[in-house]
Amino acid sequence: MKDFFNYFSEIFKGVASLFRGMRVTGYYFFHPGQIVTQQYPENRKTLVMLDRFKGEVIMPHNENNEHKCTGCGICELNCPNGSIEIISKQILTDEGKKKRIIDQHIYHLDMCTFCSLCVKTCPSDALAWGQEFEHAVYDRSKLTKVLNQAGSQLMKGVE
């Protein structure tokens, strides 16, 4: 007899759980102004991604083609699967000191797990998340990107 009541008790709990989930769905059904679903690819021209979206790692440059990357290599060390490579070189400053500058900041999008460790640990905030998400290609080599633009330099005041 105890198993009989336990059986119906479990059925009742399952139906109650179903109605709790349907309450959330019903709320959005009757309040259509809060819809977050995008009609992609029909709205490709007007599509706006959320700020927290992680599309790909980028290195923002200003209008003078300057970036904030000092070439310290912390992002490369913190990347769990090696999707970032920094090729740097040392130059002599006017004072005669050696200074490291980046030659290439290479990002392998095909290996990235979008964990955001590189963006979070960058001491100079040189890396950010871009909004680009269409990365379908036939050749994987097209997913390897050089983040620093040709002829770019370090911003003044960034050490």
Q: Token match 């310290």: residue?
A: 72
135 is a domain residue: yes
pLDDT digit string (tens) for the chain, length 159 residues? 677 788 889 999 999 999 998 998 888 788 777 666 778 888 888 887 888 888 899 999 999 999 999 888 999 999 999 999 999 888 887 788 888 888 999 999 999 999 999 999 999 999 999 988 888 999 999 999 999 988 888 888 777
If asked whether residues 84 and 131 sit together in one domain, one would say yes
pLDDT recorded at residue 156: 83
Same domain, 92 and 14: no
Which range of residues forms the domain containing residue 91? 56-154
71 and 148 both lie in a single domain? yes
Task: Give the pairing type, strands 98-108 and 84-92.
Answer: antiparallel
CATH number of the domain at 108, please.
3.30.70.3270
Type of residue found at 16:
A
Q: How many domains does the chain have?
A: 2
pTM of the model as a whole: 0.71
- Mark whether 29 and 64 lie in a shared domain: no
Give the pLDDT of residue 45. 87
Give the Cα separation of 30 and 72 in Å (integer). 53
Reported in sequence order, the residue ranges of the chain that DSSP labels E, i.e. its strands, are 56-58, 66-67, 84-92, 98-108, 128-130, 144-146, 153-154
Cis peptide before 41 (omega within 30 of 0): yes
